[in-house]
Amino acid sequence: MAWSKIKQNLESFLSPTLVGKVEYCATGYRYLPDKSGRCYITVDKMEVLNMSEGNAMLPWYKTEQEIKNNTDIQLPVNKEDLAMVRKDVGDLVPDERLEVITRERKKSVYAKDLMAAQTALCKSDFYSAATLFLSDSIENNLESKDMLLNIFALIDRRMGKKKILSIEEKMKLKHPIVQYFYDLRRTQYN
């Protein structure tokens, strides 16, 4: 499918409050075979997600340790998580330490997921994610580990207020760029 058709289809699904605010852009270099071009998403004419480089306005992580040491990342720990870790370490560990161990394990998993989500984003990934988004349900796109599918689903007009407000806890576990688009959408309901 041609870029103009993909763009038209994506923009037809934008939430009415984001029309004109969020834009999908692509550049190509026809006469430079070693340049594949790039795709990017702008919000209020400011580039927030660039598919060819890691210089978006939100953090892009280079190592797991950056993620684990980032104090802005707060992962919720519930009773089921604690029970699974207690099963692994036994009953001799105090509750305070058990919570620390659980949080560190969750941060490791979260870090691996974030690193996998942001690796090798390029123009062809954008095209394939856009095509997949247009042919799949909103729920599947939200549950996907692909951050592009998450973004497309969050700014979709079919996502209502009730659904947006009910997924707040899930969004805390997503990449910062997905959280940015979630906040962009959630602010229209506050």
* pLDDT tens digits for range 7-23: 899 999 999 989 999 99
Question: What is the model's pTM?
Answer: 0.66
Q: Residue 40 forms beta bridges with which residues?
A: 25, 50
Would you say 127 and 6 are in contact if contact means Cβ atoms under 8 Å apart? yes
> How many other C-beta atoms can be found within 10 angstroms of the C-beta atom of residue 22?
21
> Does the pLDDT value for residue 122 go beyond 90?
no
* pLDDT tens sequence across 167-180: 988 888 888 888 89
What is the distance, to the nearest Å, from the Cα of residue 179 to the centroid of all Cα atoms in its chain?
Answer: 6
Of 105-109, 124-128, 186-190, minimum mean pLDDT range: 124-128
Would you say 177 and 56 are in contact if contact means Cβ atoms under 8 Å apart? yes
What pLDDT does residue 57 have?
A: 43
Task: Compute the half-sphere exposure of residue 99: CA atoms within 13 Å on the CB side of its CA.
Answer: 8
What pLDDT does residue 30 have?
A: 61
